[in-house]
């Protein structure tokens, strides 16, 4: 069955199909079972979400359905005004992702294309900051946010309880990881590219904006995918730094809603699954970027 002889050994090994052996069949049976077990909790949530509460409370959850419908999804969506919370998330996530990429790419450019003495230290500061657990900094941050008055700029008049506050902490925190990844990426670009332009008298901004940045598109795309999912999924920052339920992004709003509006588990299941849909869409649409972002550079092959 092995037909590919050309290309490199690595790709040939990839494309090669081994003939069907009993061991292969056993492996597939095992993997199918495991995959089903892994999808199990999600499928169970979907099943619960598709059944009316009246039916499950009467017959129990482990029972044959009389009727399956998407009513719980529409109810969860309308009852809790989910559109509003999705918009809140957008208001936070879009600027946060763009700003993180912009700021971290500038730092990465600085540390990777020039030989300043401070480079290594700067990169260490960014990377280590990103690895800290958020709870390490939350107490002073919370006080700081309460202290900073921004009358007229944010709804709350403070940094606390505002989308701006969340954007800032996301950018500050995530730029550590992005600066690190992008600086490695930029270091791999041939230095002649920028050197020649510099000799010709181009400004450093031009080097960054017109030469280096366009070449970083693949890395930026991968990071953008990762960041969108991480920021969308944020629960902790919003939980602590937002006090008004109205201002919450969708993930932390769900926590409030499940106590406030939802009276039955089927509806909570529907709400939870609805919340997960955007990340699943991003993941399925940009799977390659997501996985390559997560392991950026780990694959030398």
Partner 1 sequence: MSSETTTKIPEAAAVPPPGATTPQRRFPQGHQRLLTRRDRLTLGLMAGLPTILHVALVWVTALASILLAFTTWDGIGFDSIKWVGLHNFTELFTNNPQFWPAVEHNIVWFVALILIPTPLGLFLAVQLDKNIRFSRVYQTAFFLPVVMSLAVIGFVWQLIYNPDTGLINSLIGANEPGHYIDWIGDPDLNLWAILIAASWRHTGYMMILYLAGLKGVDPSLREASALDGANEWQTFKNVIFPTLRPTNTVVLVVTIIEALRAFDLVFVFNKGAEGTELLSILVTNNIIGESSRIGYGSAIAVVLLVISLAVIIPYLIATFRKERQA
CB of 281 to partner 1, least distance (A): 10
Rule CB under 8 A: say whether 137 interacts with partner 1.
yes
The only residue of 82, 97, 208, 248 in contact with partner 1, by rule CB under 8 A: 208
The only residue of 90, 91, 138, 221 in contact with partner 1, by rule CB under 8 A: 138
Shortest CA distance to 110 belongs to which of 171, 186, 181, 178?
A: 186
Calpha distance 99→210 (Å, rounded): 18
Rule CB under 8 A: say whether 104 interacts with partner 1.
yes
Residues 260-289 that bind partner 1 (CB under 8 A): 265, 268-269, 271-273, 275-276, 279-280, 282-283, 287
Q: 177: which strand partners? A: none
Q: Which is nearer to partner 1, 151 or 299 (CB)?
A: 299
Rule CB under 8 A: say whether 245 interacts with partner 1.
no
Calpha distance 106→144 (Å, rounded): 27
> Residues in contact with partner 1, total (CB under 8 A)?
130
The only residue of 97, 101, 123, 163 in contact with partner 1, by rule CB under 8 A: 123
Residues 6+ apart with CB under 8 A from 46: 269, 273
**Tokens 């009513």 appear where?**
71
The only residue of 90, 91, 98, 125 in contact with partner 1, by rule CB under 8 A: 125
Residues 68-87 that bind partner 1 (CB under 8 A): none
Exposure string for 8-35, b = 16+ CB within 10 A, e = fewer: eeeeeeeeeeeeeeeeeeeeeeeeeeee
Q: Which is nearer to partner 1, 87 or 147 (CB)?
A: 147
Q: Which residue blocks in the chain are alpha helix, DSSP H?
A: 9-15, 22-49, 53-59, 71-79, 82-113, 119-131, 135-147, 163-187, 191-199, 204-206, 213-215, 217-233, 236-241, 250-260, 265-285, 287-294
211-240 mask for partner 1 (x: CB under 8 A)?
--------x---------xxxxxxxxx-xx
- Phi, psi dihedrals of residue 36, rounded to the nearest 5°: -65, -40
Asked if 241 contacts 161 with a C-beta cutoff of 8 angstroms, the reply is: yes
CB of 196 to partner 1, least distance (A): 11
The helix-helix angle for 287-294 and 217-233 (nearest 10°) equals: 90
Q: Which residue blocks in 114-216 are alpha helix, DSSP H?
A: 119-131, 135-147, 163-187, 191-199, 204-206, 213-215
Q: Which is nearer to partner 1, 150 or 291 (CB)?
A: 291
CB of 112 to partner 1, least distance (A): 7
Looking at 16-24, 67-75, 76-84, 150-158, which segment touches partner 1 (CB under 8 A)?
16-24
139-168 mask for partner 1 (x: CB under 8 A)?
xxxxxx-----------------------x
Residues 32-61 that bind partner 1 (CB under 8 A): 34-36, 38-39, 41-42, 44-45, 48, 56, 60-61
């Amino acid at each position: 069955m092995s037909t590919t002889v050309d290309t490199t050994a690595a790709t040939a090994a990839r494309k090669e199909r081994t003939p069907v052996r009993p061991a292969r069949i056993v492996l597939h049976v095992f993997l199918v079972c495991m995959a089903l077990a892994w999808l199990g909790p999600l499928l169970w949530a979907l099943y619960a979400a598709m059944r009316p509460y009246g039916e499950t409370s009467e017959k129990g959850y482990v029972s044959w359905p009389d009727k399956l419908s998407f009513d719980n999804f529409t109810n969860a969506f309308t009852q809790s005004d989910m559109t509003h919370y999705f918009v809140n998330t957008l208001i936070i996530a879009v600027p946060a992702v763009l700003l993180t990429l912009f700021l971290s790419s500038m730092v990465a450019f600085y540390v990777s294309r020039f030989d300043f003495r401070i480079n290594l230290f700067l990169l260490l500061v960014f990377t280590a900051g990103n690895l800290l657990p958020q709870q390490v900094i939350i107490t002073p941050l919370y006080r700081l946010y309460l202290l900073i008055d921004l009358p007229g700029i944010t709804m709350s008049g403070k940094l606390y309880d505002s989308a701006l506050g969340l954007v800032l902490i996301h950018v500050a925190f995530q730029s550590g990881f992005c600066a690190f990844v992008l600086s490695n990426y930029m270091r791999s670009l041939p230095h002649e590219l920028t050197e020649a332009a510099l000799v010709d008298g181009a400004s450093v901004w031009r080097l960054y904006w017109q030469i280096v940045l366009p070449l970083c598109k693949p890395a930026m795309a991968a990071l953008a995918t990762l960041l969108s999912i991480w920021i969308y999924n944020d629960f902790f920052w919003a939980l602590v730094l937002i006090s008004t339920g109205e201002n919450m992004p969708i993930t932390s709003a769900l926590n409030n809603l499940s106590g406030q509006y939802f009276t039955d588990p089927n509806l909570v299941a529907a709400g939870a699954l609805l919340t997960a849909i955007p990340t699943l869409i991003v993941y399925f649409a940009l799977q390659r970027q997501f996985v390559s972002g997560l392991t950026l550079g780990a694959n030398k092959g």
